[in-house]
Structure 1
Amino acid sequence: MTDARPSAPAPAEAGVRPAVPFNLARYCLAGGADPRKPALLVAEGPDGRIVETWTYGEIIDAVARVAGGFGGYGLARGERVLLRVGNTSTFPLLFFGAIAAGLAPIPTSTMLTDREVDLILADSGARLVVGDGSCAMPTEAGEAIVLGPVEIGRLRAASPADFAHTDADDLAFLVYTSGTSGRPKGVAHAQRVALGRRPMREGWYGLRPDDRLFHAGAFNWTYTLGAGLMDPWSVGATSIVHLGERPPQAWPDLLEVTGATLFAAVPSLYRRILKYGQVAPGRFPALRHGLTAGEALKPALHREWVEATGRPLYEALGMSEISTYVSSGPHVPTRPGSPGRPQAGRRIAVLPVAGEGPDAGQPLPAGESGVIAVHRSDPGLMLGYWRLPQETAAVLRGDWFLTGDVAHFDADGYLWYEGRADDQMNAFGYRVAPEEVERAIAEHASVAEVAVKEAVSGDVSVVTAFVVLNAGAVADVPALEQHAAAHLADYKRPRAWVFVEALPHTGSGKVLRRALRP
């Protein structure tokens, strides 16, 4: 059996080292919250009817029983458990139950095909595959043990077990993303990832024990598992999720009925709520503010939400390897167009894009663009890419982890995102960040959404803008060109304009630029 740990060295922990043993599930669930207090509310239907209420006592007991059930399979510490489970309350029980047992769950989207599941199973070497019958399973399980609905019932009925005595640097879970080769790439996170999320609680959420945080995403999305479950549970707050169809016009009622004080979603959902829902400053009165991540928040959308609701909207920038590390929040005023400033306790820098020379590891001054880097001492940083030592080494430069995102800081410490380094366009010999061009074009009143990419035709490469128009707007290229000329240098301006009904997005809501076709 191969080693269950990634082949890359784990980054050191910042600050005070956590007590040993340290278990992520124990940290999130056993923090002393009143066992009678609601930990999880599950709503269903357009009217937001609460169909399940889980107290902290019930959640802890259920997770302990699942951990005991997993323990009956005699697996070694750190063995992987592939989860193929739909968006029900069973998912977090299995996820945290596996971690409580000292195993490493792999949350996966229900939208994956059986071939994609095969690839993840083969790469991860998972010893257990747990499926509830709601989504595709591996076509060939090999040596893995497959558990179905009956076995899930047995897990939940097992005798409870104590939290495993894992260490802070032990593997906690794997998250799979698309690798550069087109094959899935596992991001390995340690138990200490829970500590790396603490700066978000103040720096982004302003999270309190009396909060009710409603996350719009599904359980199997890591944005939901982190912002929707780990973080509220770590402070004794209540998490709210919704099952089934959630039409955008239903969200104002959902927020009101559930008494949500915080709401987390991707920008595109906020845009649809404004378009289709009945939104006014008097709606959902319990809500203090909204949270958004997953894609850039356009200034126009931010402005429209604040004007329509009278409530702030706080953005965060992050990625699977580190979660969020830059944000606005209750103590960091929003600056539309910027995701905010590094969260307190984070060591974030902008380094030269070129990785050679004596200054390659030296942070650039404000105003100079480069690649965003996170110090390797951050406890939220991944252990490495699963069984990919060369790819792990490629994103490390001395004491820094390179995110691959290009940005610059302004004089006040706000970060201005300019896109992915591999999305950079070459226009007349200049490097141009698509995010900068998109931000400028999105300010035009007729533009609902825009994405730009470099399109090559023969020997000619031009910046091409793909535009989704607001309802009732017309495709007026001269007007857009005039707007671009007032906001962008000549070499940054689109030379071609394509009007589309919608932009392609990933499952997490990010614009999929490589799928754009002139």
Structure 2
Amino acid sequence: MGASPLPMQFSVFDHGPPTPCPSPFNMAAYVLSHATALGDKTALEVVGGAPEILTYRALLTRVTRVAGGLRAQRLREGDRILFRLGNTPDFPVAYLACLWAGLIPIPASSQLTVPEATDIAQQTDPALILHQSGVSLPDHPAPVLTTLPEADPISPVMGDPNRLAYIIFTSGTSGRPSGVRHAHRAIWARRMMWQGWYGLTPDDRMMHAGAFNWTYTLGTGLMDPWSIGATTLIPALGVLSSALGDLASEHSASIFAAAPGVYRQMLKSPLPSLPQLRHGLSAGESLPDALRTQWRTQTGTDIHEALGMSECSTFISGSPALPAKPSTSGRPQQGRRIAVLQDGKPVPPDTPGLLAIHRDDPGLMLGYLDADLPDGDWFTTADTVSMSAEGDITYMGRNDDMMNAGGYRVSPLEVEAAFNDFQGLTGCAATAVEIKADTQVIALFYTAETPIDEDTLRAHAQSLLARYKQPRLYIHRDTLPKGGNGKLNRRLLRDAFEAPND
């Protein structure tokens, strides 16, 4: 990946075109296209717990048998399957099996509460729910399977690469999680990350610190390594961040991927020697420069960061071949067409504007659950950035009030809605606040006649919100600030809270 071929007069970076996706196509068949040839090579190793290894042969066999078992449930092509599965290898197996069989997986987080899972079920109306003990079940009439069904293997259902493949949910500015529809071609678009971000080869041992049921892990930690024939390492349930360095060393990880919060926890104590490690990867939230420097000092390796979103995964990044310049997020990956817009028009280089992705990007979503892509050449995000004449992207924040909790995007409106009916609470505002350098948590500022017991507020949040959405601080205020238009001003709350720490 290099600079734009011509000096830019406007912030439009055309680094394409991408290689066209083959047709007919099936995402799962593509991911497992090397499985037969690789045979007994390790595809997946769960580390830090009871030994658990899946070879490529075993992975292919299990996926095709579960695909056959799902179709034996009298499901029809295009039926939707809601996941209420825990942090186990069953999650990616079920995901690939659904895709293989022409079904539509909905890989929802295991942390969702019953009301949250019910809302997703109501929006998607699944034909089947896959459920494991300890994970919430929605209030929905769909039949429930508590084990993955198996039957004789079936062939993959091939078809148009532009057809619907899967649905994921992301927090939206409306306060209600939004369903994002992706096509089978989305996995083909991820090839642009292999060298544009990962520096990934078939010989790599990619260790991802996330859970099986997190979309960051599902893509970067599983689907992409398997697509190229590499080995992936996933920590067992309950492994602490402090143990990850030793596990990466013991299992010869060559690439390590995590959210910034995990790196921060790992660096609280000295790391072991990591002779096989080539570099780290970070996504989910902004990586502080101090954290990057500390990692480099301790390991002698770099962390390459990527910027993306649920609607298009990661599309701007630094890489081993072209590290990001200081204080930037990197450049658009090979094959991407990116613009910086104001009022729908490209701005000059180094001018702030909204980041936009060309609608022909093969990784761009088909649309939201209830709406197709808007008309026009560009899909405009809520991220404010500037772009240099060479294509370097500087991230400047969001133009809304979205929060980031451990790599998950969380809408303040969703958190606030959970407290709308709380007795004695007359108003509330959720925002992310910095409690120490480079560490943010979700805080709920609220008004009430007198302060409310924090344990009562926490228990209420636990009943309605996934753990990563729950406020960590509850702060009583006499009033909540509003702007001239009468709208809540969360920025003033955040600034007032953080000011004493300046």
With structure 1 as the length reference, what TM-score do the two structures score? 0.75
Distance of aligned partners of 1:215 and 1:184 in 2 relative to their CA distance in 1, 3 Å threshold: same
Could you tell me which residue of structure 2 aligns to residue 60 of structure 1? 60
- Aligned-partner Cα distance in 1 for 2:389–2:240: 42
- Aligned-partner Cα distance in 1 for 2:390–2:182: 32
SS in 2 for 1:347: strand
Could you tell me which residue of structure 2 aligns to residue 326 of structure 1? 316
- Aligned-partner Cα distance in 1 for 2:319–2:96: 28
Could you tell me which residue of structure 1 aligns to residue 270 of structure 2? 278
- Aligned-partner Cα distance in 1 for 2:116–2:396: 31
- Aligned-partner Cα distance in 1 for 2:18–2:257: 29
**Quick check: 1:98–1:104 contact (8 Å CA) kept in 2?**
yes
Stretches of structure 1 lacking an aligned partner (at least 5 in a row):
1-12, 355-359, 425-440, 467-493, 501-518
Could you tell me which residue of structure 2 aligns to residue 95 of structure 1? 95
SS in 1 for 2:123: helix
- Aligned-partner Cα distance in 2 for 1:372–1:231: 25
> How do 1:142-161 and structure 2 match up within 5 A?
142=141, 144-149=142-147, 152=148, 155-156=149-150, 158-161=151-154
State the one-letter code of the partner of 1:263.
F
Could you tell me which residue of structure 2 aligns to residue 225 of structure 1? 218
Distance of aligned partners of 1:370 and 1:44 in 2 relative to their CA distance in 1, 3 Å threshold: same
Could you tell me which residue of structure 1 aligns to residue 304 of structure 2? 314
2:330 pairs with one of 319, 322, 340 = 340
**Quick check: 2:107–2:213 contact (8 Å CA) kept in 1?**
yes
Could you tell me which residue of structure 1 aligns to residue 392 of structure 2? 414
Could you tell me which residue of structure 2 aligns to residue 383 of structure 1? 366
**Quick check: 1:293–1:317 contact (8 Å CA) kept in 2?**
yes
**Quick check: 2:48–2:247 contact (8 Å CA) kept in 1?**
no
SS in 1 for 2:336: coil
Could you tell me which residue of structure 1 aligns to residue 74 of structure 2? 74
Q: Deviations over 1:17-65 (max 9, x none)?
A: 43322000000101364111111111134xxx6x111111110110000
2:355 is the counterpart of 1:372: yes
2:379 pairs with one of 395, 401, 408 = 401
Distance of aligned partners of 1:235 and 1:411 in 2 relative to their CA distance in 1, 3 Å threshold: same
1:457, CA displacement in angstroms?
Answer: 3.2
Distance of aligned partners of 1:41 and 1:458 in 2 relative to their CA distance in 1, 3 Å threshold: closer
- Aligned-partner Cα distance in 1 for 2:440–2:153: 52
2:279 pairs with one of 278, 282, 289 = 289
**Quick check: 2:324–2:331 contact (8 Å CA) kept in 1?**
no
> How do 1:77-476 and structure 2 match up within 5 A?
77-139=77-139, 141-142=140-141, 144-149=142-147, 152=148, 155-156=149-150, 158-275=151-268, 277-279=269-271, 283-352=273-342, 354=343, 360=344, 362-389=345-372, 392-393=373-374, 398-423=376-401, 447-449=437-439, 457=481
- Aligned-partner Cα distance in 2 for 1:209–1:15: 21
Stretches of structure 2 lacking an aligned partner (at least 5 in a row):
1-15, 403-432, 446-478
1:463, CA displacement in angstroms?
Answer: 5.7
2:29 pairs with one of 3, 26, 30 = 26
1:298, CA displacement in angstroms?
Answer: 1.1
1:295, CA displacement in angstroms?
Answer: 0.2
1:458, CA displacement in angstroms?
Answer: 6.1
**Quick check: 2:481–2:493 contact (8 Å CA) kept in 1?**
no
Distance of aligned partners of 1:414 and 1:458 in 2 relative to their CA distance in 1, 3 Å threshold: closer
**Quick check: 2:288–2:438 contact (8 Å CA) kept in 1?**
no
1:335, CA displacement in angstroms?
Answer: 2.3
> How do 1:477-488 and structure 2 match up within 5 A?
none
Distance of aligned partners of 1:17 and 1:462 in 2 relative to their CA distance in 1, 3 Å threshold: closer
1:334, CA displacement in angstroms?
Answer: 2.9
Q: Deviations over 1:400-419 (max 9, x none)?
A: 11121110012432111111
1:301, CA displacement in angstroms?
Answer: 1.2
Bigger relative CO (Cα 8 Å, ≥ 6 apart) = 2
1:272, CA displacement in angstroms?
Answer: 1.1
**Quick check: 2:481–2:492 contact (8 Å CA) kept in 1?**
no
- Aligned-partner Cα distance in 2 for 1:78–1:258: 40
**Quick check: 1:102–1:164 contact (8 Å CA) kept in 2?**
yes
- Aligned-partner Cα distance in 2 for 1:243–1:499: 41
State the one-letter code of the partner of 2:365.
M
**Quick check: 1:207–1:232 contact (8 Å CA) kept in 2?**
yes
- Aligned-partner Cα distance in 2 for 1:64–1:451: 42
Distance of aligned partners of 1:173 and 1:310 in 2 relative to their CA distance in 1, 3 Å threshold: same
Distance of aligned partners of 1:120 and 1:458 in 2 relative to their CA distance in 1, 3 Å threshold: closer
1:332, CA displacement in angstroms?
Answer: 1.3
SS in 2 for 1:219: coil
- Aligned-partner Cα distance in 1 for 2:48–2:441: 34
Q: Deviations over 1:428-462 (max 9, x none)?
A: xxxxxxxxxxxxx99xxx83436899996366979
**Quick check: 2:48–2:236 contact (8 Å CA) kept in 1?**
yes
Could you tell me which residue of structure 2 aligns to residue 511 of structure 1? none
**Quick check: 1:102–1:166 contact (8 Å CA) kept in 2?**
no
State the one-letter code of the partner of 1:190.
A
- Aligned-partner Cα distance in 2 for 1:200–1:15: 12
SS in 2 for 1:239: strand
